Chain A
Amino acid sequence: MTRAGVRRRATAWMTPRWRDPGWYAFVLNRFTGLILVAYLLAHFVVLSRLTAGSEGWNDLLGLFGSRPFLVGDVLLVSAVIFHGLNGVRVILLTLGRGTRRSGLMFGVVLVASAALAALAAWGILFA
């Protein structure tokens, strides 16, 4: 397969197309999924500091408790919330629920995600 062929396969699915709700859902789901996988691997690496005992870990906490990292936490939690709710949407569709209103379901997922993410942000940043 040519380099161009690989590039096409890698990017074709995210070419902005008709702005169907389902397409946004698909692309957001994939992006959030990949971001969360990357975070998961990073998280594993960071957790290795637990073996360094109390000292090493509590040092790290100072860093993670800082404002920028907490904002990052909010973004991650938002990604998790969207990915999860969209997963529920996909499962419902597969079970034949709401197939006539797949766009509306995406709207519900978006609104619910935003609400939950706002709640989480308040909890993490201000509570």
Chain B
Amino acid sequence: MSGPSLRPRRFAGRPPGALPGYVPGADIPTDDQRASSRAGSMWLVKAATGVLLVVFLGTHLVAQHFLVEGGLRDYDAVVAYLRHPVALVAELGLLVTVIVHAALGVRAVLVDLLPGERALRRATWIIGMVAMVSLVYGIGLTLVVLGG
């Protein structure tokens, strides 16, 4: 082709950051860095426990409804079931994952619901306590049943 191209050799567009007085992100509300990394981690943990629940809850339900003739187990069957090491691991795994998953799920609903970081922090604390109590209760119950 003849002559130089009439088109510019590089983009005319500059980011607004090139303009004086502009601070990137100045207009975007944000929370502190620790909270940020927590938000991402919580999503991951929720997904991971979700996947584990497919395994643990599946085992639990099948064991509950389909292993024993007539569906539900009587007391002795429950104890016998729990004495099996695989069952024990599966049930304790279910206990932990279901509590973590439920706690994160309830908290996610509250993120939509509660105005402001302070209310959310308080709610998170309460949910955490309920989760801990549930966990201790569940483990305690298992030990009592196995011991009895």
Contact = CB atoms under 8 A, between A and B. Distances in A.
- A and B in direct contact, judged by CB atoms within 8 A: yes
Contacts of B148: 51, 53
Nearest to B64: A73
Contacts of A37: 102, 105-106
B144 to A, nearest CB: 5
Contacts of A53: 75, 148
B75 A57 contact: yes
A50 B144 contact: yes
Contacts, number: 80
B74 interface: yes
B115 A124 contact: no
B64 to A, nearest CB: 9
A40 B98 contact: yes
A65 interface: yes
Interface string B104-138: 01100100111100000000000000000010011
Chain B interface bracket (under 10, 10 to 19, 20 to 34, 35 or more): 20 to 34
B144 A65 contact: no
Nearest to B103: A37
Interface residues of A, number: 39
Given A40-B98, A40-B102, A124-B65, A54 B50 contact: no
Interface of B: 47, 50-51, 53-54, 57, 61, 65-66, 70-76, 78, 98-99, 102, 105-106, 109, 112-115, 134, 137-138, 141, 144-145, 148
Interface of A: 1, 5-6, 9-10, 13, 30, 33-34, 36-37, 40-41, 44, 47-48, 50-51, 53-54, 57-58, 61, 64-65, 70, 73, 77, 80, 84, 87-88, 90-91, 94, 120, 123-124, 127
5 contacts: A50-B75, A50-B145, A61-B73, A80-B57, A80-B61
